[in-house]
């Protein structure tokens, strides 16, 4: 049913709420395919937002959208700032083609690694508060990023280690701030 509504309503203006309700009902009744339907809902939400987004916009907020996956990142190539906080993302691999990205907020998701962000060479500020990053090594993928000056990892399991900021600073020497605290020079 919702596939038909999506085909009829390409701009998602007439059946937007009905399509979301149909997907939510499928999530409730078909538990074996719950993850599939949640990803499908994410795709629909992103498509709806991106189709109405100003083509010249350089900032985007996808906060609190319930996203489980990221689709259509090819439509986001020129964005310099994205807020993806308070979603249900477990991976950010699809952000790897966002070469203009400078500020990224991924707070309160389900991230266990940052694979994909090593290709975002312009990234200056990254916030990954309250995720599932277990050790400073999970951030080492960013060690070749010379632009990264600010990172916030507060609320991740890696913060239980007393020396986590020292380890992060040692591997990512460009950092000036970790968890909103000014960095001192990393010991050699």
Helices (H) and strands (E) in the chain, counts: 4, 7
pTM for the whole structure: 0.84
Structure confidence by residue, pLDDT tens digits, 90-138? 999 999 999 999 999 999 999 999 999 999 999 999 999 999 999 989 9
Query: For the chain, what are the domain ranges?
Result: 1-52, 56-188
Query: In the CATH hierarchy, which fold is given to the domain comprising 56-188?
Result: 3.80.10
The count of other CB atoms within 10 Å of the CB of residue 116 is 18
Structure confidence by residue, pLDDT tens digits, 55-85? 889 999 999 999 999 999 999 999 999 999 9
Q: What's the CA gap between 111 and 104, in Å, rounded?
A: 14
- Which is more confident, 33 or 62? 62
Confidence at 54, pLDDT banded by 50, 70, 90: confident
């Amino acid at each position: 049913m919702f596939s038909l509504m999506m085909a009829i309503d390409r701009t998602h203006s007439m059946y937007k709420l009905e399509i979301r309700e149909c997907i939510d009902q499928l999530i409730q009744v078909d538990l074996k395919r719950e993850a599939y339907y949640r990803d499908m809902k994410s795709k629909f939400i992103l498509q709806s937002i991106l189709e109405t987004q100003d083509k010249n916009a350089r900032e985007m907020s996808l906060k609190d959208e319930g996203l489980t996956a990221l689709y259509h990142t090819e439509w986001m190539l020129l964005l310099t700032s994205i807020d993806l906080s308070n979603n249900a993302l477990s991976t950010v691999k699809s952000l790897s083609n966002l070469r203009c990205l400078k500020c990224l907020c991924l707070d309160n998701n389900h991230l266990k690694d940052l694979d994909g962000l090593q290709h975002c060479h312009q990234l200056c500020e990254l916030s990954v508060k309250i995720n599932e990053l277990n050790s400073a090594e999970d951030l080492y993928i960013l060690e070749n990023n010379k632009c990264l000056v600010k990172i916030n990892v507060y609320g991740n399991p890696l913060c239980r280690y007393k020396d986590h900021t020292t380890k992060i600073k040692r591997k990512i020497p460009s950092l000036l701030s970790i968890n909103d605290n000014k960095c001192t020079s990393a010991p050699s």
